[in-house]
Structure 1
Amino acid sequence: MTDPTPNAPVATHDELEIQRRNLLLAGGVAAAAAGIVAPGRAKAQEGSQVPPPARQPRAPAGGKSPWGYDTWKQATPQPVSIRPGEAPLPQQPRAYTDIKSYHAHVYFDEDTSQKAALLRRWVSERFVVELGDWNQVPRGPHVTPSFYFGFTNDLLHVILPWLQLNSLGLTILLHPNTDDPRSDHLYYTAWINRSQPVNGYGMKKPGEGEPPVELIYPNTKPFVPIET
């Protein structure tokens, strides 16, 4: 293959070095024009750069916070107890006979309401319980829709395993009834499937003249034998 430019002069080593330096210089000028600074130069210029002032949010014209403008000065309140009404550590265990009955709270939402309806029918067909109304919205300490049924102690050994096998994946709170409803809902509980929050913050023991323990009045007439 013949050389297309046989008479072109051949650059010397020094000439090639000069061309390389010119290209590097040209690249540095272009980078500076584009706002790109070499790492060494960026460090040198770091102290000389002044950040722009922070932009303050503008409040709506004529508006005013309903909380005022001195909330940051308020002292942090210290309640009498982190959990109002909570008793100190007991000196000895409670007697299991303090449990007078049990409640089961079955939770559901718009995606699981059909499962809840089926489970509710199964319970009423098989067990002598006090079946409550539908709670389509949160009620009492329960933060989601639910229904409830109460039963006496002699049914615990049957209802608990039955619910474990027939929960249909629903969250169920099973708690005893003693004279301390707050502890009943928060500390003495048994959960089937996952647990969920219970708002027991304001629950108190029964007052003077009130029944010491919530009573159970069965209102179902079962007609289906329990599966064994």
Structure 2
Amino acid sequence: MSEENVTGAEALDQEWANLLSPPRRAVLRRGGVVAALAATAWSGAAAAQQAGAGAAAAAAGQGGAVGAGAGKARAAPVGKSPWGYATDKAPTPRPASVRPGEQALPAKPRAYTDIESYHAHIYFDEDSYQKAAQIRKWAAERFSIELGDWNLEPRGPHVTPSFYFGFNNDLLPVIVPWLQLNSLGLTILIHPNTEDPRADHLYYALWVNRSQPVNAYAMKKPGPDEPKVEQIFINTRPSVKLES
């Protein structure tokens, strides 16, 4: 047993000896044992409380020092804002219409025959690419379509990985409900192909499930040497009868 433990044991023995000394025994005989024990317990609790108060004060002092250091302000950067210092007073400009040439309300509806074909863009990510692969396989097996490559990074106006297939108007009544029932929960953009690709993607679009941003605002109409409407060239050979 260490010297410290011996000292502690001796102190405890002495305390009990004092408690059971002739004067204390007289107190105990008069029913004061509870009071005597309580007095002993109180003296230990008071010592512990004083020790805890000292530790708390030390911790508070350290915390105050840390807080004082954390509250120091950082030096402001030297330089000027590239936007100037009156941006709150700049006028609010009106952005260009997503439909060029239609700044005013049209006098009559646009002819539906302006649509020459459609694109279906199927969006996916690293957690859902297997679903996209299943839809791609099913579509190629069942429809005469133009199936594009995998786009594993944003491409054109599409901001997430995707693949697309193009199809002619005669398949629209079949492919739209087919994609609705076989989307596997993926986001799908279906848009027509007209002479205005920007409006095709932003204004004339259909969505299966959730919509998502399409960065088509800067798209322009085809140039003078380009086809007015994107062409569809069938590259699949259906081999499975469509379920009905």
Mark yes or no: TM-score above 0.5.
yes
Out of 67, 89, 93, the residue aligned to residue 78 of structure 1 is 93
Change (3 A) 1:92 1:56: farther
The total of aligned residue pairs comes to 171
Structure 2 equivalent of residue 105 of structure 1: 121
Q: From the superposition, tell whether residues 180 and 83 of structure 1 become closer, same or farther in structure 2 (CA, over 3 Å).
A: closer
One-letter amino acid of the counterpart of residue 136, structure 2: R
Q: What's the counterpart of residue 45 of structure 1?
A: none
- Displacement after TM superposition at 1:59 (Å): 3.8
Q: Using the alignment, how far apart are the partners of 2:101 and 2:214 within structure 1?
A: 16
Say if 1:192 and 1:210 are closer, same or farther in 2 by CA, change over 3 A.
same
1:120 paired residue number: 136
Deviates more, 1:203-212 or 1:114-123: 203-212
- TM-score normalised per structure 2: 0.64
Q: Once the two structures are superposed, what CA deviation does each residue of 1:157-187 show, in whole Å capped at 9, x if it has no partner?
A: 1111111111100000001111111111111
Identity %: 62
Instruction: Find the counterpart in structure 2 of residue 24 from structure 1.
Output: none
1:47-80 residue CA offsets vs partner (Å, 9 max, x unmatched): xxxxxxx9764146xx757x55x62235457366
| Residue pairs, 1:170-209, within 5 angstroms | 170-209=186-225
User: In the TM superposition, what are the counterparts of 1:38-187 in structure 2 within 5 Å?
Assistant: 57-59=74-76, 67-68=81-82, 71-73=84-86, 75=90, 78=93, 81=96, 83=98, 85=100, 87-88=102-103, 89-187=105-203
The TM-score with structure 1 as length reference comes to 0.68
Deviation at 1:151, TM superposition (A): 0.3
SS at structure 2 position matched to 1:134: coil
**Structure 1 CA distance for aligned equivalents of residues 238 and 134 of structure 2:** 15
Q: Distance in 2 between matches of 1:152 and 1:167?
A: 20
Larger Cα Rg: Structure 1 or Structure 2?
2
CA-atom RMSD in angstroms: 2.3
**Runs of 4 or more off by more than 4 Å in structure 1?**
74-77
Pair 1:211 & 2:221 matched:
no
Aligned partners of 1:84 and 1:202 also within 8 Å: no
State the alpha-carbon separation in 2 of the partners of residues 72 and 143 from structure 1.
33
- The AA in structure 2 aligned to 1:152 is N
User: How far does residue 85 in structure 1 lie from its aligned partner after superposition?
Assistant: 3.8
The answer to whether the 8 A contact 2:157-2:214 is kept is: yes
Letter in 2 for 1:162: W
